[in-house]
Structure 1
């Protein structure tokens, strides 16, 4: 095992260019534009993570592209059913008060 012989083994300086890039990235992350874009990404990553956890979609169970596509289609269907169940059984939110589609809103305008 190699030991550090310096006086302060935890004190080290980064080269200037990587440090400036890191500082610039951290500054950019504080802007509203970056946070709005990251919020979209966080939603997508949540969906991907749910697909990995629930369906094990990372590895195909069968060989061949047609069977892998079929597995992905079934996995996506299963995720949609799980999400619909969570939406319909959400406590405190009756289904009638949930979000309405554009078509429904348009029909309200046409009948009024």
Structure 2
């Protein structure tokens, strides 16, 4: 367990996790806002088309937000984590 925590502190791990966090954010946005987990169609081709259209919609939504200067939302902190003492206190 200590080795895993030491590995998480390395620069390589943080770079890899940053990529994963970006992908997880896209999946979260797709499933929460665009209902990616529910297909409206029967058949692989139509379902694939729906997924492509959702991907295009996500990209357009992000482009419009970027052009409008909307800042990215920071990851929320859980109530339990908020109770933990900080290094400055």
Same fold (TM over 0.5): yes
The alpha-carbon deviation at position 28 of structure 1 amounts to: 0.7
TM-score using structure 2 length: 0.72
Q: Which residue number in structure 2 is paired with residue 43 of structure 1?
A: 22
What is the count of residue pairs matched by the alignment?
A: 70
Give the corresponding residue for 1:102: none
**Please, which runs of 5 or more residues in structure 1 have no aligned partner?**
1-21, 92-112
Given candidates 61, 68, 73, the residue that maps to 1:89 is 68
- 2:16 maps to 1:26: no
In the alignment, does 2:46 pair up with 1:70? Answer: no
Unaligned runs of at least 5 residues, structure 2: 71-89
Q: Which residue of 1 aligns with 2:85?
A: none
Q: Structure 1 segments of 4 or more deviating over 2 A?
A: none
SS in 2 for 1:61: coil
TM-score normalised by the chain length of structure 1:
0.58
Give secondary structure in 1 for the equivalent of 2:40. coil
